[in-house]
Structures are given as structure tokens and as C-alpha cells.
Amino acid sequence: MNVSAHLPVLQVVVPLFSAPLAVLFRRASVAFLLVTAASWAAFAIAIALWQQTGDGQVISYAIGNWPAPWGIEYRVDRLSAFVLMLLSGMAAIILPYSRASVEREIPSEQRYLFYALFALSLAGLLGITVTGDAFNIFVFLEISSLSSYVLIALGRNRRALTAALQYLVMGTIGATFIVIGIGLLYLVTGTLNLADMASRLGQVNDTRPVLAALSFLTVGISLKLALFPLHQWLPNAYTYAPSAVSAFLAATATKVSVYVLIRFYYTVFGASLVFERLPLPQIMLVLALAAMFAASAIAIYQDGLKKLFAYSSVAQIGYITLGLSFGSLLGLTASLVHLFNHAVTKGALFLLIGGVRAVMGRSRISHLHGLGRVMPVTSFGIVLGGLSLIGVPGTAGFISKWYLVLAAFEQGQWWLALAIVGSSLLAVVYVWRFVEVAYFREPHAEASERREAPLGLLVPAWILVLATLYFGLETSVTVGSAKAAAAMLLGLSP
């Protein structure tokens, strides 16, 4: 038996099975080791798959050896390998962090369940990315969503409960919209395999059920990816979830939804239907601009650091959809690069804020006077992450904004380049609020001696901060993969 032939299914099965094992052992330490080992294995598998698909090869894996249109097919191409690597990499960094974080935030009898839920959530997200079957996407989506609702509800503030329920209601509406869209496509084509569906849709592309399916899928996925104005669930969910969960969800959950949207638009419906027949690009452009400005403006007025960066996430998702709305090679590349870079940056920021909460007990800006003196390493990391959100050269955020501006100019839309710069100025304002309080105010008397976050929290967070800087200088992995994936989606030779 050759293991490498089974990598696509192992990608999902390894984290999936670590969850029931973690529950069976009922010991937080064993559960932690199991799930962390599973996430590292998943990361290794994702890197192997990324290398295998690097030359444009598409790996097709028939579950249970049932051939493709009838059985469930797992399909790994450049795009899914890129997203798989991001997801499993973030989990592999955030899980070691979660040990020290969970000990502070979650009662001891619930800790093993935390790790099991984390593994389920990861397995669901990986499954969405790897599967080539429409209904399978829905099932994995619900696996990851249901576990993330519980993870959010584990937060200590009682608002975590209402945030989780709000996310559950909106997330379920989104998932049901998606399954209605899939149902309509199934009625029209009689198949659930995405590739098969695409080839059968060719003849009936412009019929009403197909257009209805496209609308249902767009709205449903937009709810999941928190496209403005469907983002209401996101700020509270990120704010009141435990620190490790905020970081993991901010880095992965919305990004996978973007992947699903791209997958349906380009692989199933085809760019010509989405971008030429319908006014979808214009709608997405308007919503993206609204997100970039409105959410950034709301972020400026937040006192809670987590909520501030949660609103900033909504704004950054605006940049991703802005790139999508161009429908061009450069725009799609910019979207995918920003998807990766924003995940790394926001992951780093939420991990650092977790450290702040562990030491200071809270993360309101008004309580963080002189944080630069009390926690210099953590504060410096937050500033670097903030610079990446703004898009300062030398950070990952600059690379994605650079490509976005290039894509805008390519379309002849120079005013969009101005809009991108303008909304970055709003990011300067909300990052500056932190800088001002942390570096230019005297620490409160009771919290003036120097205390740094424990190493278990600091090291994983700084790995991501350094990754933010690394991907700002060395772009062959991000831009190279994104360009190749975008060319594949548009049917161009790279």
C-alpha cells in the first residue's frame, strides 16, 4: 500500500479521527498532544500535496474506489492545495498556543472537549477545501460550523453565548441557502460532482433555475464569509470567543468561504456567466467598497481591541472581494494573496491580544495605557501586525495591496486605487489609537511593572508576526501559488 496515493483523504481523516480519540481519553494533556500531532500531520500532508500539484497536476481521489461522477471525489488542484496549506499551517501554529491559553480561559473539565472541537472544526474546513462534491461541501461546512459555534460559546463572558447563538442562526441560514442552491443545481444537472456539474451546465447555463442557484449560493456563501452587510455575526463572535478560537476563526473560517465562492464561480458556473451575463461584479464592487470604508470607520470607534480587529477583518474581507469583482487574472491573484496574507496577519494579532488578556486580564484600549512599557515584546508585535493591516512596505499587507492597486489600474479604474489608499488611511487611524495609548501614555499605577506574556503564548504569536514580515519580502510562495491558481481558474496557461 502506498501512503502517498491516499494523501487527499488522509488530509481530512487524520484530524477528524483525532477528535473522537481526544474525547475517549478524557485527559486534556493527551487530547492536546493528539490534536496537535494531527494538525502537524495535516500540515505535512498539505505541503506534500502543494508540491505534487505545483506543476499543474490535478489529484483526483475516489472515496471507496467508486469512480468520479457516482462516488464522492476528492480533488486537489493548485488552488485547494494553497488553501489547505494555509488552514493546516494556521492550526499547527495556533494549537501549541492554545495549551497555555486554554489553561487560563476554560475550566479544566471542559479542556479535552475544546481540543476535540478544534480538531472537528479543522477537519471540516479541510474537507470543504479538498472535496469535489457539492453536497459534501455542505456536510463539511456544517461540521466546521457546528464545532465553531460551541468553541465560541466556551468564552467566559456571557455575551459569548448570545454571540454563538447569533452566529448559529445566521450561519444556518447561510448554510441552508447554500444547500438550496446545490439542490437547484442538482435538479438541473442530476449530478453533485463539481466537475461533472460544470460540464453539464454548459448547455443550460442561462436558464432560470441556474440563475436562482447562483443567487442562493452567492447569498449563502456571502453570509458565511461575512461580506458587508451580512457581517453582523462576526464582531461579537470574534470578540467573545476564547483567544485561540478568535485567532483560528479569523485566520481560517471566512477564508474557506471565499474559497468556496471562487470554486463555484469559476469551476462550476464559469466566469462568463458570473462576470458578463449578470451585474454581480458591480454589486460585489459596491459591497467591497462599503466594507472597506464603513467597517474601518466603525473599527476606529471601538474600545475593545478584539472588536476593533474584528471590524477590521470585515474591512479586509472587502479587499478580498474587491479583487474578486475585477474578474481578471491580476484581481484574482490579489484576492488570493490577500486571503493568505490577511490570515497570517490577523492570526498574529489575535494571538498577541490573547497574551495581553492573559497578563492584563482585559484588552480594552482604555486599560492598556503604557502597554509598550509593560509588555514591550507583545506591543511591538501588535504594531507590526497593524502595519501589515495598513499595508506598509516590508509587511505582507503591502504585497496584497500592491497587487490590488495594479489590478485596479489594469481595469483603468484609477479612482479605485485612491479608494484602496483612502481606506488604508482609516486603518492608520485605528492602529494609531493603539500606538498612542501603548507608547505615549503613562501606565496605570497598579500595572506599571514589566510583565510579559508567558512564552507558550508569545512564541507562536511571534512566529506569525515574523511570517507577516517574511511574506512581505519573500513572495514566491504566496504570489507564485496565487498566480498559478488564478491562471488555472481562468483557464490560462501560467
Partner 1 sequence: MTLIGFLSYAITIFLMVAGLTIVVSWGNLIKTLVGLGIFQTSVYLLFIAPGKLIGGTAPILDPRFTVYSNPLPHVLILTAIVVGVATLALGLALVVRIREAYGTIEEDEILALDAENPDDGGPRA
Contacts to partner 1 by CB under 8 A: 105, 135, 138-139, 142, 146, 149-150, 153, 156-159, 161-162, 164-165, 168-169, 172-173, 176, 179-180, 183-184, 186-187, 192, 303-304, 361-364, 367
> Nearest distance from residue 236's CB to partner 1, in Å?
10
Per the CB < 8 A criterion, the answer to whether 241 and 151 are in contact is yes
> Nearest distance from residue 212's CB to partner 1, in Å?
11
> Nearest distance from residue 146's CB to partner 1, in Å?
6
> Nearest distance from residue 201's CB to partner 1, in Å?
17
Residue nearer to partner 1 on the CB measure, 78 or 231: 231
Residue nearer to partner 1 on the CB measure, 32 or 138: 138
Per the CB < 8 A criterion, the answer to whether 378 and 363 are in contact is no
> Nearest distance from residue 168's CB to partner 1, in Å?
5
**DSSP per position, 46-72:** HHHHHHHHTTS--EEEEGGG--TTTS-
Residue nearer to partner 1 on the CB measure, 59 or 211: 211
Q: Looking at the DSSP assignment, which residues form a beta bridge with residue 436?
A: none
Measured CA to CA in angstroms, residue 286 lies from 11, 130, 236, 403 at distances of 37, 31, 24, 19
Residue nearer to partner 1 on the CB measure, 102 or 488: 102
Q: Classify residue 27 by its DSSP letter.
A: -
Report the alpha-carbon distance of residue 381 to residue 351 in Å, rounded: 10
> Nearest distance from residue 159's CB to partner 1, in Å?
6
Per the CB < 8 A criterion, the answer to whether 347 and 321 are in contact is no
Per the CB < 8 A criterion, the answer to whether 410 and 328 are in contact is yes
Report the alpha-carbon distance of residue 125 to residue 119 in Å, rounded: 10
Residue nearer to partner 1 on the CB measure, 356 or 396: 356
> Nearest distance from residue 235's CB to partner 1, in Å?
12
> Nearest distance from residue 101's CB to partner 1, in Å?
13
Residue nearer to partner 1 on the CB measure, 51 or 110: 110
Residue from 148, 118, 86, 51 nearest 342 by CA: 86
Report the alpha-carbon distance of residue 210 to residue 225 in Å, rounded: 22
Residue nearer to partner 1 on the CB measure, 192 or 332: 192
Residue nearer to partner 1 on the CB measure, 52 or 176: 176
Per the CB < 8 A criterion, the answer to whether 171 and 223 are in contact is yes
Per-residue buried b or exposed e for 52-71, using 16+ beta carbons within 10 Å of the residue's own CB? bbeeeeebebbbeeeebbee
Q: Please enumerate in sequence order all residues whose Cβ is within 8 A of that of 467, keeping only pairs 6 or more positions apart, or say none.
A: 344, 348, 396
